[in-house]
């Protein structure tokens, strides 16, 4: 009996999270209500609050659910593999994560300065943690002589920024219609520029 209850709780929690992602992606943080999310999940608000204490907590869970941190840490720990292969795999995961939540990103960008302080705090904390983990890897990789010395925080922003702006231009703006680009080609090109630059070796200082 306990096992069935546990399964029900996991299923209900997942339904609420999936519904919340859809509602937040359609209405943004400010325009979403726990009542609308509960209805979309097929539960009542009491059940929603039993799993998530507030809309703010639910939104934070949505942001953390799509975090790249587990993939960054996994790539960093596979020290025996070539670092270029690990960057390539991480880039694929990052692009997939961004693609999965492109509707949410679009609505949050459109809200801009109208976002509540609670939403801003969550959005600032999520990416900040990702950048911290990535910067730590860059610092560690330099210490092990696997990459040259660069500012790790700037390098982390450059790495994530390439793929974030690709998503914005291609998927949120009409880039796919105007300038269609194969995502795998984009990933490999961005990585080549990030790791090796655009100048020929003989012109690099």
Give the pLDDT mean for 139-151: 94
Kindly report, residue by residue over 51-84, the tens digit of the pLDDT.
999 999 999 998 888 789 999 999 999 989 999 9
Residue 125: predicted pLDDT: 83
Kindly report, residue by residue over 146-174, the tens digit of the pLDDT.
999 999 999 999 999 999 999 999 988 88
pTM: 0.81
- Residue 10 binned pLDDT confidence (cut-offs 50, 70, 90): low
Residue 85: predicted pLDDT: 95
Options 3.20.20.450, 3.40.50.1980, 1.10.10.60, 3.40.430.10; CATH of 2-53: 1.10.10.60
Quick one: which H or E segment has residue 139? helix 117-143
Residue 96: predicted pLDDT: 94
The whole-angstrom separation of Cα 69 and Cα 168 is 21
Q: Do the two domains 2-53 and 66-197 of this chain adopt the same fold?
A: no
**In the chain, what are the domain boundaries?**
2-53, 66-197
Q: Residue 41: count other Cβ atoms within 10 Å of its Cβ.
A: 22
Share of the chain above pLDDT 90, in %: 63
Q: Residue 25: count other Cβ atoms within 10 Å of its Cβ.
A: 18
The whole-angstrom separation of Cα 180 and Cα 18 is 30
Residue 111: predicted pLDDT: 79
Quick one: which H or E segment has residue 89? helix 83-100
Mean pLDDT of the chain: 89
The CATH number of the structural domain formed by 66-197 is 1.10.357.10
Whether residue 205 is predicted with pLDDT greater than 70 in this model: the reply is: no
The whole-angstrom separation of Cα 43 and Cα 14 is 12
Kindly report, residue by residue over 78-109, the tens digit of the pLDDT.
989 999 999 999 999 999 999 988 988 888 88
Tokens of 25: 């992606």
CB neighbour burial string for 91-127, b if at least 16 within 10 angstroms, e if fewer: bbbbbebbeebeebbbbbeebeeebeebbeebbeebe
Kindly report, residue by residue over 115-131, the tens digit of the pLDDT.
778 888 887 888 889 99
Helix (H, G, I), strand (E, B) or coil at 39: helix
Whether residue 203 is predicted with pLDDT greater than 60 in this model: the reply is: yes
């Amino acid at each position: 009996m306990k096992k069935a209850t546990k399964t029900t709780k996991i299923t209900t929690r997942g339904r609420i999270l999936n519904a919340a992602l859809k509602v937040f992606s359609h209405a943004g943080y400010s325009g979403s209500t726990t009542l609308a999310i509960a209805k979309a999940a097929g539960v009542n608000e009491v059940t929603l609050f039993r799993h998530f204490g507030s809309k703010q907590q639910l939104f934070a869970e949505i942001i953390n659910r799509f975090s790249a941190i587990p993939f960054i840490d996994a790539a960093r720990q596979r020290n025996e593999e070539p670092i270029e292969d690990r960057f390539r795999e991480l880039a694929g995961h990052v692009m997939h994560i961004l693609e999965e939540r492109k509707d949410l990103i679009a609505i949050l960008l459109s809200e801009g300065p109208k976002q509540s302080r609670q939403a801003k705090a969550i959005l600032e904390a999520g990416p900040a943690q990702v950048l911290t983990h990535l910067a730590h890897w860059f610092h560690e990789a330099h210490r092990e002589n696997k990459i040259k010395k660069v500012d790790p925080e700037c390098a982390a922003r450059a790495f994530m920024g390439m793929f974030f702006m690709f998503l914005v231009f291609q998927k949120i703006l009409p880039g796919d219609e105007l300038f269609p680009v194969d995502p795998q080609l984009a990933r490999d090109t961005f990585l080549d520029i990030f790791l090796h630059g655009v100048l020929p070796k003989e012109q690099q200082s």
